[in-house]
Structure 1
């Protein structure tokens, strides 16, 4: 039995501890030894997964999904500059919300690092800490750009025919509460945003990132490849049933551009056999979006490398950059004035339980020792209004801000 093997390997009965205690102890142990750690929960699931790598981040020149081991992938918005980072799952715990430890895959690695981590984990469980430490880069972020002026410039460029849509982003930096606990925040994210991909990633190389992203970039489960077109944003109205949500022409066109972009990618690789469902209204926390889902049977189409090919074609999608891609990326590089880092990049678990799930890194923040930087963007079209786009980014900030600073 895996559970018995787990206890024997750890020489410790982890079932005596809460999920919060286990996650905290693992994060602190990884921090003590300078090891990468990732914790996540997939949308609409109860299971939480935690992995630790006994080696530093692996930088991948190309993401070859079929040959990658179990692990966690994270990549920045400007992928050509920093590359794809991979956390190998040398240590893996999975458990659900009712405290039942489901089978853990604990590596038989007997290196000094592997032994040290397991010893440290037992020590941290035996002597609980109030909150774990995490890796911090203490990186300064420029938040001075006038976002409304940037949106107006975007509209001017669209009207002059340079591009159809662009997605400028902004950042906001805040002081963290004195007793900020990343594990408590992660658990709150899981509870509040059940439809989102909730995650915590902390490594010496990239610092610490957390988020609750609603947007699947791609997934592969058994033979089925999936991707989605998600765009258009409005606040969720508790008085209006989701199926009766009314969308403006601007929002409908914004989402249609993303859908057309995905179909254009399929055309580039001459893929015609796909299933399309939508657009439908999708709820993500306190926000609503328009969503269209695309599915492909990679076995029926004899296209096993489809996830790898589509990742390269899709990122960055028109939902985070714009359309056409080349012109909008040039515009953002010149005028946005923001190093997005891992915001609007992609991340997610790879080859765990025979599944790969990669998400666009939205509704996210970079966590330093005393401050946090939140990121958000808005899709700008010819019909955009600068004030409304600014308020949209504020709503997106609130996905995490409202959990960090709950109303008293």
Structure 2
């Protein structure tokens, strides 16, 4: 476990102040090019920049190590919060690796955070040892990427179809019930990508999703892994997908067929059961709807279920995310068997794709999505990711088409 700022949990306490401000306009437009952090849903959310402190963690203990570091940091922090809404006060943005190995996870505490929640708008300053002056806010213009070239990632489409067929054979043989397999697409740009460009386009086109950026991982996820807010816990489960055509009447018929699809309903049931069983030990009561609803997004439709509960212990939002990860929606069923199979046949390092991404505050409340519809940036190279749930009657060609539909949001955002 390494503190990126070069300090230790026993360094000078952080001094935090949140104050109300006038409506700052588009949150994403406030981001400077370097050190940007974002979590935006519709027009609400938080963005940050600068660096107060951070931590990296890895291995099987990454969640526990980061959570312990955060609890110590929050306990010692001097906080003056004049806003007192979720997202004000002391906040860290986080992104966690899908697997125990390889991959690093991080919590980042910026020096400036700007937020909006309904009619409340605020700026938070965070510094070590002394109170910082709130900065003047101004808008910035993102640089559009030029000449983006796409290529296959770890596998071609045809190779990935063979992997899907292998997984289906194992499921039909009784080795497991479901496995979620992912593929990647590589984009190359002539100059380092200005991540603010695709972020703004994702937020504009997929406002119902949570648009995020943490340490080079960006995207717009439709799936809320867990939200903890003032004693209430919620989780949105998505599993079962069909591509939209753009014809409203046809899409309504497709939505009805999705809601009746035995393959998709089976996949969805596994995912809901996984979430409910993981949250149950932390809740005094829970509500798990009997049937899913169809969530309409611009490019696809999903079967969706919102699971809710009342928390009865001190587990933080990050601790709840750890308890839920990996759910059946991103791993499979049984989870341990599915994750082992992913490591054997998927053929790529997921990094932080499909891991928890979001934020946590000093009280342990926060929001953690699943890093889907996402990409990782390393200078001129961008890796886009998409995954599909594979069950006994999955068709490799159809799964490839579904993965291509899931790549569209980020792919189009890179192109403009």
For residues 381-396 of structure 1, what are the structure 2 equivalents within 5 Å? 381-396=391-406
Match of 2:125 among 106, 110, 127: 106
Unaligned runs of 5+ in 2: 1-15, 75-89, 146-151
Contact preservation (8 Å) 2:318, 2:368: no
Match of 2:48 among 47, 50, 55: 50
TM-aligned CA deviation for residue 355 of structure 1: 4.3
Counterpart in the other structure of 1:74: 95
Q: Does 1:337 align with 2:358?
A: no
Q: Normalising to structure 1: TM-score of the pair?
A: 0.77
CA distance in 1 between partners of 2:336 and 2:355 (Å): 17
CA distance in 2 between partners of 1:171 and 1:220 (Å): 31
CA distance in 1 between partners of 2:156 and 2:18 (Å): 55
Q: Normalising to structure 2: TM-score of the pair?
A: 0.76
For residues 200-349 of structure 1, what are the structure 2 equivalents within 5 Å? 200-202=213-215, 208-237=216-245, 238-239=248-249, 240-241=251-252, 245-247=256-258, 248-266=261-279, 269=281, 273-277=285-289, 278-298=291-311, 302-305=312-315, 307=317, 310-349=320-359
TM-aligned CA deviation for residue 125 of structure 1: 6.5
Unaligned runs of 5+ in 1: 8-12, 31-36, 134-139, 203-207
Deviates more, 1:152-161 or 1:58-67: 58-67
Q: Provide the aligned length of Structure 1 versus Structure 2.
A: 365
Q: Secondary structure at the match of 2:293?
A: strand
Q: Does 1:183 align with 2:196?
A: yes
TM-aligned CA deviation for residue 107 of structure 1: 2.4
Q: Deviations over 1:7-27 (max 9, x none)?
A: 9xxxxx997x97566312xx3
Q: Does 1:369 align with 2:379?
A: yes
TM-aligned CA deviation for residue 366 of structure 1: 1.1
Contact preservation (8 Å) 1:51, 1:71: no
Query: Would you tell me which structure has more helix in proportion to its own residues?
Result: 1
Q: Secondary structure at the match of 1:319?
A: coil
Q: Secondary structure at the match of 1:334?
A: helix
Pick closer, same or farther for the CA change 1:182–1:396 going to 2, 3 Å. Answer: same
Counterpart in the other structure of 1:159: 172
Q: Deviations over 1:97-148 (max 9, x none)?
A: 9xx992201125468xx98xx99x87x969x776499xxxxxx963358100
CA RMSD after TM alignment: 3.8
Query: Would you tell me which structure has more strand in proportion to its own residues?
Result: 2
CA distance in 2 between partners of 1:217 and 1:333 (Å): 22
Counterpart in the other structure of 1:171: 184
TM-aligned CA deviation for residue 272 of structure 1: 6.6
For residues 83-94 of structure 1, what are the structure 2 equivalents within 5 Å? 84-94=105-115
Contact preservation (8 Å) 2:241, 2:402: yes
